[in-house]
Amino acid sequence: MKKLLITGGAGFIGSNLIDKLIEIGGYKITSIDNFDPFYDKAIKQQNIAYLIGNPNVSFHELDILDFEKLKNNLSGNYDVIIHLAAKAGVGPSIKDPITYQNVNLIGTQNLLEFAKLNKIKQFVFASSSSVYGINSQLPWSESDKQLQPISPYASSKISAELLGHTYSYLYDIRFIALRFFTVFGPRQRPDLAIHKFSKMLMNNEAITVFGDGKTGRDYTYVDDIVNGIIAAISYDQSKYEIFNLGNSTLITLNDLIASLETVFEIKANIKYLPHQDGDVPITYANIEKAKRMLGYDPKIDLLSGLMKFKTWLGSNS
């Protein structure tokens, strides 16, 4: 069985990834999570509750900033590290940039040191579409050199990608950075737009929109992201690569709200507020490289994904 170390395994993407890996079979999974108080610990515990006791999955409550505990509590006998743990969110990173830099960069360095120490040769890193910043060359391609991040969160992700290149070069670690584009679906964090707006609709509360609603996002269903991660686990054609994982479809915020109205059959009451610092006007992925080299092929469109999310939300509210 292939042995995996997954950081952030109790979170939104991590827990969905573990579910899929168990369904496929052939993996022995060690997952760590520090249950960061960014949102309720009970939500993450619920994400993994049914996995407790599974002989092919072990969970450890560990912080990626504590290198000694990582060394002392993990065997090191892994084929691949999938590093999903991070301080997430653009707005909060502006309020607390030092913490974001520490967790997202120093935490990543600790995992790379752990890989070096234990001769783990495959490292898959969760990066972000936010690294592109404000870039008029749409859709965004991995070959774009105009990376102009406008938040500490985004800059921490670029820095971690560059750190991965250093370790790949010096220590023969295959480093694969996956730039996720606006992931949604079951277990999505409660602070993110689709989850938050859905709750507001269900509770007949006004939806708060920052700006005029014309900002655009490339909404990507979590199952498609998970399939991209699994493809990266087995990728072996080069030592360092960056891949966009998106849906390659641009949806405005106004169109998203209209789609939610259709799915929930509720008319939204919208309250417009000033634009937030750190938010980019558009995210839009060119996914040709991931299609060609990973076999990545997103299947779930926005409306289908929102229907699946609504079903999950109805069972977990």
The CATH code of the domain that includes 113 is 3.40.50.720
| Average pLDDT along the chain, 317 residues, taken 10 residues at a time | 97 97 96 92 93 93 97 95 95 95 98 98 97 91 90 96 98 98 96 94 92 92 98 97 97 96 94 83 95 98 97 88
Distance CA 140, CA 132 (A): 7
Give domain status of residue 118, yes or no. yes
State both tokens at 123.
Answer: 């490292």
pLDDT, position 44 = 94
Q: Where are the alpha helices (DSSP H) in 49-181?
A: 67-73, 90-95, 97-101, 107-117, 152-171
Give domain status of residue 230, yes or no. yes
pTM: 0.96
Residue in the structure block whose two tokens are 């938010």: 279
Handedness of CA 244, 249, 255, 261 (dihedral sign): negative
Domain region containing 53? 2-181+221-247+285-298
Give domain status of residue 306, yes or no. no
Distance CA 54, CA 228 (A): 24
**Could you write out the DSSP letters of every residue in 244-287?**
EES----EEHHHHHHHHHHHHT----EEEEPPPTT--SB--B--
pLDDT, position 275 = 82
Q: Which of 13, 38, 35, 24 is nearest to 234 (CA)?
A: 24
E strands of the chain, at which residues? 2-7, 27-33, 57-61, 80-83, 122-128, 174-180, 183-184, 207-210, 216-217, 220-221, 240-245, 251-252, 270-273
Q: CA 206, 211, 214, 220: dihedral to nearest 10 degrees?
A: -70
Give domain status of residue 56, yes or no. yes
Give domain status of residue 92, yes or no. yes
Give domain status of residue 188, yes or no. no
Q: Which amino acid is at 276?
A: Q
pLDDT, position 109 = 98
Number of Cβ within 10 Å of residue 237's Cβ equals 8
pLDDT, position 16 = 97
pLDDT, position 175 = 98
Give domain status of residue 75, yes or no. yes
Give domain status of residue 150, yes or no. yes
Q: Structural domain tally of the chain?
A: 1
Catalytic machinery residues: 153
Q: What is the DSSP letter of 317?
A: -
Contacts of 112 (CB under 8 A, 6+ apart): 123, 163, 164, 167, 173
